[in-house]
Structure 1
Amino acid sequence: MKTMNLDGLVFRDLDHDGVLSVFEDHRLPAAIRAKDLLARMTLAEKAGVMMHGTAQTHGPYGMLGIGAEYLLPANRQLIVKDGVNHLLTRLDADPRTFAEQNNALQKLAAETRLGIPVTISTDPRHHFAHVTGASSRAMGFSQWPETTGLAAVGSAKLVEQFAAIARAEYRAVGIHMALSPQADIATEPRWPRISGTFGEDPKLARALVAAYVVGMQAGSVGLNKDSVSCVVKHWVGYPAAPEGFDGHNAYGRYSLLTEASLSVHIEAFLDAFNVKVAGVMPTYTILKDLLLEDLALNGELLESVAGGFSTQLIEGLLRAEHQFKGFVLSDWAIFRDAKEATFNPTQMQTPDDISMPWGVEALSREQRFAKAVNAGCDQLGGEEDVATLLRAIDQGLIELSRVDEAVYRMLLPKFEQGLFENPLVDAAAAVSIVGSKDAVKAGREAQRRSLICLKKPSLIKPGAKIYLENINAAVEDSCPLAEADVAIIRLSTPHQMLHPNFFFGSRQQEGDIDFKPEAEDTLRLQALSSQVPTIAVLQMSRPAIITDIIDQLDGVYVDLGVADDVLLTAIIEGQDTEGRLPFELPSSMAAVEQARSDLPCDSKDPLFSIRSDYRNV
């Protein structure tokens, strides 16, 4: 792109006319520049800004963005032809390649009439778990505990440090928006998305969510040129899921709350608003039969639609009651048509069967677009269909003033973050920033601190022979079981395959969380512990019921995102652990079933209370 020199300063000629326009003048405030750009845009260009698409890749899952290299012809269509300039990346690539690939997208954007740069977003990348639609692999990035692991440490300072390091790594490869943090409260232990939350304590989650935003956005007063914008989610009550079934699936499309319990779920968002979080993402789910008398809605029954279509939740509760001024980005796939296979698949759902238009299934796509935009969504997550939005506007379903409001909200962060001046990144520098020695060291120290000991094992003597199972034997020599002085086995929270034909349900961990007597893992623990003192390490993507196994074990640890070598060093050396449970561990499935899905810490006689470890059982 050509540049202009004026008063010793350099300006990019974004609109290619050789004249310094107001929106090109980086001396001016972001708000003035955004308004000037908005006034120059065609309706089609505005519609493109209201889309948040996916950067497409080579390979069989290219439409989902999963791959090692962008498919530039497809992305040219999105960026240059359709005017889409917010894209989610799911790229799996080393830091240099990642930066070069994102630069390639920005060079496409520079060809457009107004040179609007692409805002590139990502799901979380720095943790151990990765599930399509919720998180991505930590390829090359420093690796940290799950957010539940950060909550186990319970330090706002640590969370802010993590987010600041993640921010530097993101910006180094050209990522500008984090579709995180989750301010969801883990009130239902069977819910499969707990590992992405800060646990079950609303007050702790409130503080840690805010710390995450401050670290990621590089301050508490809004965005600046160093920021990665945060989208806090999911507004609101998403985890109050009957039987723990998730809203990605038709059978999990409802959350059940009362007005009192909704206030508990709202609390975790409040300090994020105070530190000026950039964006909010509404919940997939319908808050079923919820009557709100005090929370801004004056006794209205909440409309039976998902959060992204709810005027009451967005314009009423979020904007009017809590004075949120940023943008609202809908979640993905809520505008797609529901099919028979969406509700009752007779074989494995394909990506084409994925849709979550809960409560608005009977509406046309134009009507769904309009309903979300009029409810308060400024951008349509997972959508690239500019033509349908234009038809909705042409049909009078969306006022032009509402379009301008939404587009302004989406343009403003681009100016605040300096993307119009510096859309490209230094690919060579990315190599030294992403996964740097200091970042990796900090992540590993956080892993060590997050480890929770529920039952202190006997001291492992120097030279003891150790049998390892489900742990990388290359980290520590593993002897045959018959020769072992102690066994260390890693297991996960039990789960059941209840919905094998559902794309997400088959990939999520659902169902009971107890170690049933006939289960393979239970029998294996019995076999090991009958031969040798056994230490169990439990990866708890969900809380586990360990009532029937704890007595037979010599030691019990909870792993919320810990590398094998960090884990083994802590156990073998008998290190004191710092982590405390970020959720309670129920005593039985009966207690889980009798508890409410919308309230924290309410199971009867939990085996371990929240914030427990071996020192305060």
Structure 2
Amino acid sequence: MSDTLSPTAAALTAPDGTRFRDLDHDGIMAVYENPTASIDDRVDDLLSRMTLAEKAGQMFQSVIESGRGGVVVEHDTPDDDIVGAERYNKTATSDLLGEKHMTHFNVLELESVEQAVAWSNALQEAASRTRLGIPVTLSTDPRHAFVRNVGASLPSAFFSKWPEPLGLAALRDVDTVREFADIARAEYASVGIRAALHPTVDLTTEPRWARQIHTFGEDAELASAYVRAYLDGFQGAELGATSVACTTKHFPGGGPQKNGEDAHFPYGREQVYPGDNFDYHLEPFRAAIAAGTAGIMPYYGLPEGLVLDGEPVEEVGFGFNKQILTGLLREKLGYDGVICTDWALVHGYTTPGRELPPKAWGMEHADARTRVKKILDAGADQLGGEKCPEIVVDLVESGEIAEQRIDESVRRLLRVKFALGLFDDPFLDLDHARAVAGAADAVAAGHAAQQRSIIVLTNGDTGRAVLPFRTGLRVYAEGVDRAILAEFAEVADDPRDADIAILRVKAPSEVRQTFYFETFFHQGSLEFSPDEAAHIDALCRAVPTVVDVFLDRPAILTDVVAAAAAVTGSFGSGDRAYLEVLFGQARAEGRLPFELPSSMAAVERSREDVPFDTEAPLFPYGHGLTTPA
């Protein structure tokens, strides 16, 4: 362990009878240790005690691994003892806490409630041994659904399982969004996760964009209503000891990427507004600010040709952009919460066989020090995916950044920690976590949302509905768990022996393998490949077939609709939930959260920043048939 670590903070009683945690290990209740003092007074007191290095450490948030059995990960921890068995962070936990003075971490894999609780408590115990005992804030990307993307989300493990956010959008039900957020809040907090790197309120006005599954679709009014409910469920009316602090992203709206390419990669860096529709993409962020979002994250995108208030906007990524972060977000929109950049604007991610350059669009040729200064000058408070506080220290000591500027950001970050109650009690109770994480009523609510979010796009010929299935059918299926299907029908091994077939497929995308993470981001054409299209057509010719498409982004389904007996769209519905709808045990209620174009030519002619903009869509926004149950 680092020699900067001290004995564990003890729980003591002050002369006035106030119980407090002796975080600085001096036996006296400091103002910042006093749970009855105001947050402002506690922040002021702690800030006055912090060294420049300790302040700089708060301004960085990095990925952290958890250890099997609940141990913290150190230099000598074998990879097999790391949950997920992979190191994304090469720095030992004790060095992150004791030398870099970092206390904000984005956790990836967790294997069980027991492991998560033990690890969180061990991590907070280690943090309590630092000079000032500042507790850790653990954050996460979404982890209540199905998609695994190490750059954006994790599938639900021991939490309740819900449709992806696009599926919530398909429900058109604000109350269900609030219910989900409240359940997710309780489950997160039970295992020590007190910050959510979501919701994602980008508007999906460009059909090819890869990040749509975690959004609420392309309608600004719906996304604005949803973000208010989402923040209400996660944060409450104001941050408190039971809240999870949300970071709403990606400001000022990451949907209108040029040609639909993704800004994680150099070929997708430009964000464009050919329809002069910039303000439309701000609407959900205005709603989030009004609802008190604790954080906002700017996107990677570089604005191409954007003019605001008569001034051309500098063509650098939004995390580096002072006109966007200070001029627009702080001054014009009045936001005074935490701004945390997206991950890896300063340093790239490289391991043997894997490479992703820094997402420093417009700042590619600058060195790390210049990039950090540009980010701080722009108005960001925290650098995501980075762990280089020594650069901030050097910038202040050289006179290039005023320490007062650092204090402004650290004050915002500390306020959130105090509001969450982490200074007073960051430790977890295993029995409580076992009762909350994956509770039966939460699992049932998520399962019902999976069922309801399914969209029936077509259902047989007029007057001859295919769905729901009649009893006694012999069913052939692909993309469905045969054991689960056997609970509903006789399973056929050959489509020629079946009465009907079920085919579950993913929306089309192009395979790209230049950079690490590309396989997680589905980009390019929305048309099925010739081989995929031929297989779908052949199955539909062999037997009446219900085709379900996982719509993580729109798909061109013109030929599929012509061939299939029925077509459905889903956004994260397990096989059981899906089959319960097909067999009439539950009702599909979903409505499209975006339009489905009729051709790639129509997509290519549409404007990236304008919603509902493809010519003669196959299915318009809001389409969906309701099945009986």
TM-score (norm 1): 0.93
Q: How does 1:531-550 map to 2 (within 5 A)?
A: 531-550=542-561
Query: Is 1:315 aligned with 2:326?
Result: yes
Change (3 A) 1:96 1:106: same
Q: Name the structure 2 match of 1:608.
A: 619
Return 5+ residue gaps in structure 2 as ranges: 1-8, 68-76, 461-465
**2:528 alignment counterpart:** 515
CA contact (8 A) 1:68 1:91 kept: no
Residue in 2 aligned with 1:476?
485
- Secondary structure at the counterpart of residue 165 of structure 1: helix
The secondary structure found in structure 2 opposite 1:506 is helix
Aligned-pair CA distance for 1:91:
2.1
> Which AA in structure 1 matches 2:204?
A
Partner SS for 1:548 = helix
Q: Compared with structure 1, are the counterparts of its residues 63 and 32 closer, same or farther at alpha carbon in structure 2 (3 Å cutoff)?
A: farther
Query: Is the 8 Å Cα contact of residues 256 and 598 (structure 1) preserved in structure 2?
Result: yes
Q: CA deviation at 1:259?
A: 8.3
Which runs of 5 or more residues in structure 1 are unaligned? 294-298, 343-347
Which sits farther off after the overlay, 28-37 or 142-151?
Answer: 28-37
Partner of 1:110: 128
Structure 1 counterpart of 2:266, from 250, 270, 274 = 250
Deviations 1:160-206 (A, max 9, x none): 11011000011000011000000100011111110010001111011
Residues of 2 paired with 1:289 and 1:144: CA distance? 39
1:331-354 Cα distance to aligned partner (Å, 9 max, x none): 11101269xxx9xxxxx9845543
Matched with 2:206 is: 188
Provide the C-alpha distance between the structure 1 equivalents of 2:26 and 2:277, rounded to a whole number of angstroms.
Answer: 56
Amino acid across the alignment from 2:403: L
By how many angstroms is 1:292 displaced? Answer: 1.2
How far apart in 2 are the matches of 1:73 and 1:265? Answer: 38
The question of whether the paired residues in 2 share the 8 Å contact of 1:70 and 1:101 is answered with no
- State whether structure 2 residue 15 is matched by structure 1 residue 32: no
Residue 487 of structure 1 is matched in structure 2 by: 501
Q: 1:286 aligns with which of 287, 297, 302?
A: 302
Matched, 1:14 2:23: yes
Contact 2:191 2:428 survives alignment (8 Å): yes
Write the mapping of 1:560-579 to structure 2, written as runs, cut at 5 A.
Answer: 560-573=571-584, 575-579=586-590
* Pair 1:181–1:55, CA change in 2 (3 A): same
- Who is 1:345 aligned against? none
State which of 411, 435, 450 in structure 2 corresponds to 1:447. Answer: 450
1:137 aligned onto 2:137: no
Alignment of 1:386-405 (within 5 A): 386-405=389-408
Contact kept? 1:92, 1:137, Cα under 8 Å: no
What is the letter of the counterpart of residue 605 of structure 1? A
The residue aligned with 1:411 is: 414
Residues in 1 aligned to 2:354 and 2:501: alpha-carbon distance in whole angstroms? 42
Give the Cα separation in 2 of the matches to 1:261 and 1:615: 33
Q: 1:72 to 1:285 in 2, by over 3 A?
A: closer
Q: Indicate how the Cα distance of structure 1 residues 336 and 603 shifts in structure 2: closer, same or farther if over 3 A, else same.
A: same
Question: What's 1:300 paired with?
Answer: 311
Give yes or no for contact 2:341–2:380 (8 Å, CA) kept in 1. Answer: yes
Task: State the Cα RMSD in Å.
Answer: 2.3
Q: Report what 1:524 is aligned to.
A: 535
**One of 381, 384, 387 as aligned partner of 1:384:** 387
Q: Does 1:42 align with 2:51?
A: yes
Deviations 1:555-608 (A, max 9, x none): 111011101001011012275421100000001110000001111111001111
Residues 35 and 422 (structure 1 numbering): CA distance in 2 closer, same or farther, change over 3 Å? same
- Shift in CA distance, 151/64, structure 1 to aligned 2, threshold 3 Å: farther
Evaluate the alpha carbon distance shift between residue 512 and residue 349 of structure 1 in structure 2; reply closer, same or farther with a 3 A threshold.
Answer: farther
Q: Deviations over 1:186-237 (max 9, x none)?
A: 0111111100100011110111112111111122xx3111110000000013
Distance in 1 (CA, whole Å) between partners of 2:388 and 2:26 is 29
Q: How many residues align?
A: 598
For residues 512-557 of structure 1, what are the alpha-carbon distances to aligned partners after superposition, in whole Å with 9 as ceiling and x for unaligned? 11235xx222212221121211100111111111111202111111
Q: Distance in 2 between matches of 1:492 and 1:64?
A: 31
The 1:69–1:421 alpha-carbon spacing in structure 2 relative to 1, beyond 3 Å, is: farther
Indicate the residue corresponding to 1:5 in structure 2.
Answer: 13
Q: Residues 615 and 84 (structure 1 numbering): CA distance in 2 closer, same or farther, change over 3 Å?
A: closer
Residue 596 of structure 1 corresponds to 607
Alignment of 1:415-426 (within 5 A): 415-426=418-429
Tell me which moved more, 223-232 or 348-357. Answer: 348-357
Contact preservation (8 Å) 2:275, 2:607: no
Residue matched to 2:92: 74
SS of residue in 2 equivalent to 1:270: helix
- Which contiguous aligned blocks of 4+ residues in structure 1 show a shift greater than 4 angstroms? 57-73, 348-352
Verify the 8 A CA contact 2:107 2:139 in the aligned structure 1. yes
Aligned to 1:275: 291
Partner of 2:3: none
Matched ranges for 1:116-195 at <5 A: 116-195=134-213
Which piece of structure 1 moves more, 439-448 or 237-246?
A: 237-246
Deviations 1:25-73 (A, max 9, x none): 1101112101110011000100111111221356898999854999998
TM-score, normalisation: structure 2: 0.91
The 1:353/1:556 distance shift into structure 2, 3 A limit, reads closer
Letter in 1 for 2:481: N
CA contact (8 A) 2:590 2:626 kept: no
In the aligned structure 1, how far is the partner of 2:327 from the partner of 2:450?
Answer: 40
363, 375, 378: which one aligns with 2:366? 363
Q: Do 1:65 and 1:89's aligned partners in 2 also have CA atoms closer than 8 Å? A: no
Q: 2:279 aligns with which of 263, 273, 285?
A: 263
Per the TM alignment, residue 429 of structure 1 is displaced from its structure 2 partner at its CA by 2.1
The 1:314/1:595 distance shift into structure 2, 3 A limit, reads same
Instruction: Give the equivalent residue in structure 2 for 1:296.
Output: none
The SS at the match of 2:193 is: coil
Q: Equivalent residue of 1:135, what SS?
A: coil
Identity %: 39
Residues 233-286 of structure 1: per-residue CA shift (max 9 Å, x gap): 000132211221101101001111158411011012111111100000001010
Shift in CA distance, 287/438, structure 1 to aligned 2, threshold 3 Å: same
